[in-house]
Homo-oligomer: A and B are copies of this chain.
Amino acid sequence: MTKKRNIIVGQSGGPTSVINSSLAGVYKTAKERGFDKVYGMLHGIQGLLDEQYVDLSSQIHTDMELELLMRTPSAFLGSCRYKLPEIHDNPAVYEKIFMILDKLGIEAFIYIGGNDSMDTIKKLSDYAIIKGHNQKFLGVPKTIDNDLAQTDHTPGFGSAAKYIAASTKEVIRDALCLTYNKEMITIIEIMGRNAGWLTGATALSRTEECDGPDLIYLPELPFDIDKFLNNVKELLKKKHSIVIAVSEGIKLMDGRYVCELSGGTNYVDAFGHKQLQGTAAYLASFLSAEIGCKTRSIEFSTLQRCASHMASRVDINEAFMVGGAAVKAADEGDTGKMVVIDRVSDDPYMSAASTYDVHLIANNEKLVPRNWVNQEGNYITDDFINYIEPLIQGDCQPFMVNGLPQHLVLK
């Protein structure tokens, strides 16, 4: 009897519309490359520590279910926001994890996540090498924020960008029809604590039949509220309906978040990140007070990361590809790496997967470069638009049952 070769996969951090397409890619490639069991950690490394896992073949029985998984938003296996301690601070946690991996006969450990999740891959692969364990640890990129280093972009970003651009177009149409002989300012708040990739995606709504937003503010540049007010006043001389896109994370020169000006409460998560909300609402009431016209604020909120009904086909396919590429790399002996997407060509758009040392990726944030924002700091450049545009192409229709998108759920 040949030795059993098992693999385990987990999902971590904020979910996306296509995180399950990566899971499908891991599952399918693992089966095709002859792994015996494909385990799924429930709620990532945190669940694994409680020995919470499933055999994925008990969940996915047919190719149609695999397709349905690819169209299901949010982490199928459950997610977590759990930061592994430093190895020297708490070796017991590591001993427990490797005891469980040994018990399950795991050869490869695949973790689908963002920055914080790559920190987990880094620590586990370091520990394995130090202690002489043979398991391979591979990271699969996932984040709507697109802030991972070394990869051209991250799976999840394209679909979020597509949802944001489509919704911005619809909001602009809504605003235009309501503004006859009166002014209205619409402020759209987009996710992005430090990186403005998603907020920039609102510019994709500028098409042959739509002006797109009038002003775009990213968190990479300090937000000058006086200049902002002047920009808006100038625009109101030319048009009645002004639409402005802002990142939730824009900050004043002095470092305060704009959303803090409203005096709301702020929740801090396990990684010490402040939960930001209310930036658009604050600016809407500010402009209403300063200018006296009607204003409204719209937060696209959680829908940005779970609206799989507006997923991009390019994104779904790439998410699947990086999941499969991680299994291939682990199977070929790689460890301590994250799969990255390389842009092979812009026109026509082509991409391929390779791997990169996770130590150079974890805890690093990729921000929008200064030269992809205009001089005034209130719009993005064509280079930025050309970068995103290929990532929102193609559709992936949900399986509609009884009028609603169907999802695959854990049994």
Contact = CB atoms under 8 A, between A and B. Distances in A.
A199 interface: no
A72 B166 CA distance: 12
Contacts of A408: 209
B171 A303 contact: yes
Contacts of A80: 180
A228 to B, nearest CB: 20
Contacts of A72: 173
Nearest to A168: B404
Interface in A31-53: 42-43, 46-47
Size category of the A interface is: 35 or more
A176 B303 contact: no
A112 B28 CA distance: 52
B312 A309 contact: no
B389 A307 contact: no
A210 B180 contact: no
A296 B302 contact: yes
B162 A403 contact: yes
Given A166-B309, A174-B302, A207-B402, 16 more contacts: A46-B180, A47-B180, A73-B170, A75-B177, A78-B177, A162-B403, A165-B403, A169-B404, A171-B302, A171-B306, A173-B409, A265-B285, A298-B302, A299-B299, A389-B402, A393-B403
19 contacts: A43-B181, A74-B176, A74-B177, A75-B177, A77-B177, A162-B403, A167-B307, A207-B404, A209-B408, A209-B409, A265-B285, A267-B294, A298-B302, A298-B303, A300-B303, A309-B309, A389-B402, A389-B403, A392-B403
